[in-house]
Amino acid sequence: MLNHLQFAVVALLAVPLLRERVTPVMWLGLAGLLAGALLGTDAGALRWNGGAALVLASTLLFGAGFVVARHLLRELSTSTVMVAKMTAGSALLVAYSAATGRLGAVAHLSGRQWSFVLVSGAILVAFTAATLVAIRYAQVTSVVAIGMAAPAVTLVLQEAAGRAVRPAPADLGALAVTVLAVLVVIAAGVRAEQAAAPPRRLAPTT
């Protein structure tokens, strides 16, 4: 559940730090996202341990990272922010692998394993590029909240690939609430952007 709360972290940081205007309708949509996350969670299976602490830290860093990126995009180009983000992430990953003594395993990867590395890396680059372009022109709160629809998209893709998974009724209800909440957030975000845009001046007529 913790990793599904990035949108809440972003909203709580973006309002005071970026001065984003979150309308009551958008707060309603965010509350719906929280409800969807709770409905899809087995409360009895929740345990606080080292793994949960890492997931919480990841969630906080993910949210804070996109808020920082939105701030930087006010002064820097999308490509500059993207390169800095990917370079810093790669450097930290290499440093962690070296510190834990696992960096040498890279030399023993098979061709198939390298193909997975390249494909997953390309997907990560595409995700980062698309997200940064989106938050350059829209509220970061809205953009990150849209990502909550990912489980529904995954379900559709699995169905299309012939690997259908039959979710429990409670999970389907949670997905329905989440998708509806995402649509509310999108609509509220579009209206907020339109309201914040300067009025267009009509050309003088002769």
Length of the chain: 206
Helix count (H) and strand count (E) of the chain? 8, 0
CA distance 102 to 97: 5
Model confidence at 194, in pLDDT bands (50, 70, 90)?
Answer: confident
Give residue-wise pLDDT tens across range 32-52: 988 888 886 766 666 778 878
The whole-number pLDDT of residue 71 equals 93
Q: Model-level pTM?
A: 0.78
| Residues 6+ positions from 124 with CB-CB distance below 8 Å | none
The pLDDT > 70 percentage for the chain reads 89
CA distance 147 to 185: 11
Mean pLDDT in the chain? 85
- Give the tokens for residue 24: 């009551």
Give residue-wise pLDDT tens across range 147-189: 888 888 888 888 787 776 777 777 788 888 888 998 998 888 7
